[in-house]
Amino acid sequence: MNLHKRLLLLALAAPLCLASLAVRADGLSEMATFLREVNSAQATFTQVVTSPLRKGESAARKKTSSGRFEFLRPNRFRFEYTKPFEQSIVADGDMLWLYDVDLNQVTARKQKDVLGSTPAALIAAGTDIKSLAAVFELKSVPATNGVEWVDARPRGSDGQLQNVRIGFRQGRLVALEILDSLGQLSLLTFADWQSNAPLKAESFRFVPPAGVDVIRP
Q: Report the CATH number that the domain containing residue 76 is assigned in CATH.
A: 2.50.20.10
Identify the pLDDT of residue 76.
92
Q: Whats the size of the chain, residue-wise?
A: 217
Number of independent structural domains in the chain: 1
CB 43 within 8 A of CB 191: yes
Q: Answer yes or no: is 162 within a domain.
A: yes
Q: Answer yes or no: is 77 within a domain.
A: yes
Identify the pLDDT of residue 18.
33
Q: Answer yes or no: is 176 within a domain.
A: yes
Q: Is the pLDDT of residue 14 over 80?
A: no
- Dihedral over alpha carbons 168, 22, 131, 135 (to 10 degrees): 70
Range of 135's domain?
25-215
- 56-93, pLDDT tens digit by residue? 777 778 999 999 999 998 889 999 999 999 999 999 99
Q: Answer yes or no: is 11 within a domain.
A: no
Q: Answer yes or no: is 5 within a domain.
A: no
Could you tell me the CA-to-CA distances from 206 to 57, 67, 201 in Å, in that order? Answer: 41, 18, 11
- 90-133, pLDDT tens digit by residue? 999 999 999 999 999 999 999 888 776 577 777 887 778 888 88
CB 34 within 8 A of CB 168: yes
Q: Answer yes or no: is 190 within a domain.
A: yes
- 163-211, pLDDT tens digit by residue? 999 999 988 999 999 998 888 999 999 999 999 999 999 999 999 999 9
Q: Answer yes or no: is 20 within a domain.
A: no
Q: Is the pLDDT of residue 8 over 50?
A: no
**CB contact set of 127 (below 8 Å; sequence gap of 6+):** 35, 73, 74
CB 44 within 8 A of CB 67: yes
Q: Answer yes or no: is 166 within a domain.
A: yes
